[in-house]
């Protein structure tokens, strides 16, 4: 976890670096949600977590919540989406790009110590998932 005393200049980080940390933060949010809100076996928790974090779902989530993002957040998503990266075999190129944008946003918010906004966005993701 990032300490309150840690100062990281997010402007100097690439979108891929933001997505790298954002991926870990998002995974932790998902796992925490699953363990505290569902009575599932470990195997079922794992399968649910994989469903939450796959690029196809992340692309859906970011497209659904994009309209409530402020301009700075939209810029981070755009930078993440436009970053150069390789595409895994198991997803479409565009889904992977949008997922990278979402992860970059989560990483950015985490490094800016904006937990409240992360939780707000995650609550919206959960609402989308329950639809």
Residue in this structure with the two tokens 């994989």, named with its chain if needed? 50
Reply yes or no on whether 23 is catalytic: yes
Q: Evaluate whether 87 touches 64 at the Cβ level (below 8 Å).
A: no
For 40, counting Cβ atoms within 10 Å of its Cβ (0-12 exposed, 13-18 middle, 19+ buried), the class is middle
Question: Which residue in the list 6, 9, 23, 95 is annotated as catalytic?
Answer: 23
For 71, counting Cβ atoms within 10 Å of its Cβ (0-12 exposed, 13-18 middle, 19+ buried), the class is exposed
Q: What is the chain's length? A: 131
- DSSP conformational letter for 68: G
- Catalytic positions: 23
């Amino acid at each position: 976890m990032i300490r309150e005393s840690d100062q990281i200049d997010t402007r100097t980080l690439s979108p891929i670096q933001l997505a790298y940390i954002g991926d870990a933060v998002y995974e932790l949010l998902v796992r925490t949600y699953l363990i505290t809100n569902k009575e599932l076996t470990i195997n079922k928790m794992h399968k649910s977590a994989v469903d939450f974090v796959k690029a196809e779902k992340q692309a859906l989530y970011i497209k659904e919540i994009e309209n409530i993002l402020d301009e700075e957040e939209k810029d981070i998503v755009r930078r993440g989406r436009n970053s150069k990266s390789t595409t895994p075999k198991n997803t479409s190129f565009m889904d992977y790009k949008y997922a990278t944008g979402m992860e970059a946003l989560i990483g950015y918010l985490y490094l800016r110590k904006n937990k409240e906004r992360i939780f707000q966005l995650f609550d919206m993701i959960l609402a989308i998932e329950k639809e």
